[in-house]
Chains A and B, each alone.
Chain A
Amino acid sequence: MVLASAGSVRAADPENCLLCHRYRGLARVVPESGQIKSFYVNPGYYDHALGPHARLRCTDCHRREEVASIPHQPVSPVNCTQTCHLLNSSGLEVTFAHDAIDLALQQSVHNRDTLDKANELLGSPLAENQSRCLLCHDEPVFRWSEHNWAEQQARIDRCDVCHTERLPLDTRYYYWHVHARSRQARSSRDLVRVCANCHSNPAILQHFDNPDTVASYIASFHGKAMLLGSEETANCLDCHVAELANVHLMKPHDDPTAPTSTGHLPDTCRSTECHPTAGQAIGTAAIHLDLGTSRGIEFFIGAIFFLMILSTFGPSLVLVTLELLQIVVGRHDPAHHRHLSLAERLMGDPRGREKLKRFTPHQRVQHWILFGAFATLVITGFPIKFADRAWAAWLVDQIGSLGRVRLLHRWAGVVLIVGFAYHIGYVTLHTIWASRRSGKGFVRTFLDLPMVMNLSDLKQMKELLLFLVFRRKSRPPAGRFTLEEKFEYFGVFWGSVLLGVTGILMWANAWTSEVLTGRVLTIANLVHSFEAYLALLHVGVLHMVTVIFSPIVFPISPAMVTGDTPPEKMAEAHSGMLEQVAGELNITPGKEANHG
């Protein structure tokens, strides 16, 4: 009995309103609108002092004469600017009011007229005389006080070590208040959600002739980091409210006193919490960039990349698809059985097997280093590009945090760049060595390297396409490397340079904004993102099919492991090399090849 009665003490509700209002069912449906009008008040809010309003009595906001009797009289809307009488920590009565906020709002872009119009365009969720504060606010809750209750509660309980009795409610409340108010009142995500109520509402955007600034924010790095849970990244208030100013005093960007005005923007970006080492030009970086509605240079870069992806990935996709189609319909080159027999014979001969190895151990090691760097870059880079997808947040959680993801990404980028530089050195030395041995010039020798594309490849491409579309009976013989492999190799060169340069520009954003302009950062971000997408499409879709999923090599081609390309693959894609090696070793296909 003693235990059960302990819970009836509710200091925050002396009027006992929660006797009825604690029931969620205390509600009705408004017949005209079909909407629920709920009179529920969460008793936990007051019992656990979950927010700054937890010490208020109901009649501090609602008029006593209207609610003191049951059933209540028609209840007037609450005026959020009325004066409250509160007890401070010493038990003395002090008055408090939000009228200063109302004043700040009047001087801001969100003045009464604007909020009234917004309410109207939102379908008038607020009644005529209801406080406009409710367009953005609901009952304020100390941030994390509820969801991290266990952790925070345990922290306060530490006080009991010295204070032999449990702390009085007010002490708990003041702890909460200071603890919660020393940081931003809402998470960045919730802040953006609040702004999106109006700033992504089509009717409001149209009326005020505004772009969807929430959409463009989310397309920026800041927005993506916010979606991935970063609290360090800039949210709407960080840029649109002057440092240490009242958040309600928000000015339009064409107001010269606004932190987003041309004159103040660089200082806003370079605040001590954001980019203190950046140059003045960081203010020219586009934060609210929506490619779909922009017609600046960024849009044209996007359009160029779209065409580039169509003209590179598109043909490669067609080639891979047509190759797969040949397997589906069971079509082969007429000499396939001969080539297969030849490949098997050569693989059975130690000399032949050695000569058919298309990659040296040194090259294979370079490939796996490239693979490791590329895979890490994909795993750590694409969650940022696709931050609005559930898998992206999951992946970041698995890795630990966005900070760790970015760190890994940068160091994987360093490995890629170093590996690429090493490969350039390797190819250069190899070319010099081959040039001296053959007596040809450096350029001629380079162009003759087996991985380098040349004019004869164009002819081969035409013949291959004719074969794949059933217009030619025989497949053109390919040598050590196929046309697709040469193209992928070229892609690694192109991609590493573009991704490396743009990555370094963004990593060294302070230097970039000091020496170049902020816009370079925007462009670098776009190019980095598009090029990475192109690389992923090529490697993640086409290369994976060729070396893993194609039934000719499934479950994986050992060419990069042991160096041996499967005979079926050799016969299908490298018949020229087979013939050449067979000729050198004077090996002929078996008799059964003629019965294929």
Chain B
Amino acid sequence: MADPRIILKNVLVRGYTLGILLVVVFTGYTAVSYLYRSIFKPGKPPTEILAWKGETAAERLRTPGALGITEPAGRAPLAHYHAVDRWYQPDLRNGCITSGCHDPIPHSQSKELRAFANLHSTFMSCEVCHRQASATPISAVWVSTKTGKPQPAPAILQLLARFSAATQPADLADQSESVLQLLRQAIDVSGGDPVLNFLALQLETSQPGSPVWRQAIQQLAEELPNHARGEYGAKIAMADGPGIRPTSREFAKLTEEYFSRKADQADRTRILGRIHEGIIQRPQACVPCHRTENPMLDFKALGYSPSRIDALTSTPIVGMIQQIREGQPFNLPLGP
């Protein structure tokens, strides 16, 4: 009877040699085929030279990893003039979109309002406007577009609220660490904005309250409002109310059933009814949110700063919306 250790050693040595043999054959084949292609086949530029522009196909917003959508692109899509480093933050948790039923930028019918309505789609869940609310203000929370779970107010809004409460940079000296932490979160969500990155670095490497630190805080105060533009990695969603949440598993299961081959017409009608329970097709959503008195959304509870709340519910905005709804043009509200 052979020694089991010798047998084991033999098996290991032969297995290892077989592995080396396969690697050698594979490497040899790959090397020769590369050489053949490089001599006998016409050359082709590498992907980084050919595919570096963002894409404009709306369909790509449903898939992860699209260049220019989830990953920064080298330049704007061909024929698009204004510089964009990144297109949209995809909302891959939103069943209304991922199911394929609605476009990722969903509003297209009303020529006057579609772009304005879509403007809100990067930070508001469809249901906030399209679901029947039981009370005003509605019970709303921020929901992460990555996890689909409730989260605190986006870091950029929290920062703005803190800066709004401060009268001078020194007021924030004792909050330096938490400001920096929020700033880092905001940078992660914005895709690594270089300006915010630079200011974060300055805050990180300076003593709170020092001249360098104060200057960085002042610059941050000027910079932050430009980054509060609806790209927070989170959306406002209803905390309760009728029907099912588009981020829930039940929603995903229903849409899957709807598209399955087994489902007949009766099933589909039933599922559609269930999915759209409490849904309003044409909501009166603009003024109820943007009015000063008793707005639909409790902006303060959602983490907005007082100045931002003032801007969102100011008379010019509400007036503009009202006039547009009535079919009248509205002149540009001039800046200061």
Contacts and interface: CB of A to CB of B under 8 A. Distances in A.
B327 to A, nearest CB: 10
A105 to B, nearest CB: 17
Contacts of B20: 324, 545, 549-550
Q: Among A31, A70, A78, which residue has the most Cβ atoms of chain B within 10 A?
A: A70
A290 B56 contact: no
Contacts, number: 302
A22 B311 CA distance: 15
A6 interface: yes
B17 interface: yes
A291 B31 contact: no
Interface in A1-60: 1-10, 13-17, 19-20, 22-29, 31, 34-45, 47-48, 50-51
B49 A192 contact: yes
A126 B77 CA distance: 11
B81 A78 contact: yes
A218 B13 CA distance: 45
Contacts of A327: 13-14, 17
B79 A302 contact: no
Interface in B307-336: 307, 320, 324, 329-336
Interface stretch (A208-216, A411-419, A508-516, A583-591): A208-216
A292 B84 CA distance: 38
B268 interface: no
B74 interface: yes
Contacts of B231: 24
B137 interface: no
Given A13-B335, A71-B324, A317-B24, A218 B221 contact: no
Given A10-B335, A306-B39, A139 B82 contact: yes
A38 B4 CA distance: 71
Contact of A36 (B57, B223, B307): B57
A2 B334 contact: no
B243 to A, nearest CB: 24
A534 to B, nearest CB: 9
A321 interface: yes
A200 interface: yes
Interface string B140-181: 000000000000000000001001111111000000000000
Given A26-B115, A214-B45, A328-B21, A16 B332 contact: yes
B335 A193 contact: no
B45 A3 contact: no
Contact of B38 (A27, A29, A130, A291): A291
Nearest to A20: B119
Interface in B96-126: 103-105, 107-108, 111-116, 118-123
A250 B43 CA distance: 24
Contacts of B84: 38, 40, 42
Given A196-B49, A537-B31, A541-B24, A16 B111 contact: no
Contacts of B112: 71
A380 B187 CA distance: 37
A4 B113 CA distance: 30
B78 interface: yes
A303 interface: yes
Contacts of B108: 28-29, 31
Contacts of A192: 45, 49
B60 to A, nearest CB: 9
Interface in A49-81: 50-51, 67-71, 78
Interface stretch (B194-202, B255-263, B291-299): B194-202
A439 interface: no
Given A138-B75, A212-B43, A388-B46, A40 B82 contact: yes
B272 interface: no
Given A28-B115, A388-B46, A545-B24, A1 B335 contact: no
A219 B115 CA distance: 46
A333 interface: no
B45 A212 contact: yes
A193 B49 contact: yes
A328 B10 CA distance: 9
A293 B41 CA distance: 7
B50 A196 contact: yes
B229 interface: yes
Interface of A: 1-10, 13-17, 19-20, 22-29, 31, 34-45, 47-48, 50-51, 67-71, 78, 122, 125-127, 130, 134-135, 137-139, 141, 146-150, 153, 189-190, 192-193, 196-197, 200, 212, 214-216, 218-219, 227, 290-293, 299, 302-303, 305-306, 309-310, 313-314, 317, 320-321, 324-325, 327-328, 330, 388, 530, 533, 537, 541-542, 545, 549-551
Given A44-B226, A138-B82, A330-B10, 13 more contacts: A4-B307, A6-B222, A7-B221, A7-B225, A10-B335, A24-B88, A43-B226, A69-B330, A215-B44, A292-B42, A327-B13, A330-B14, A550-B17
7 A-B pairs closest in CB distance: A16-B335, A69-B329, A150-B198, A215-B43, A7-B225, A3-B221, A25-B122
13 contacts: A2-B168, A6-B222, A7-B224, A20-B116, A24-B88, A25-B122, A29-B104, A31-B108, A34-B59, A45-B82, A70-B332, A193-B75, A317-B28
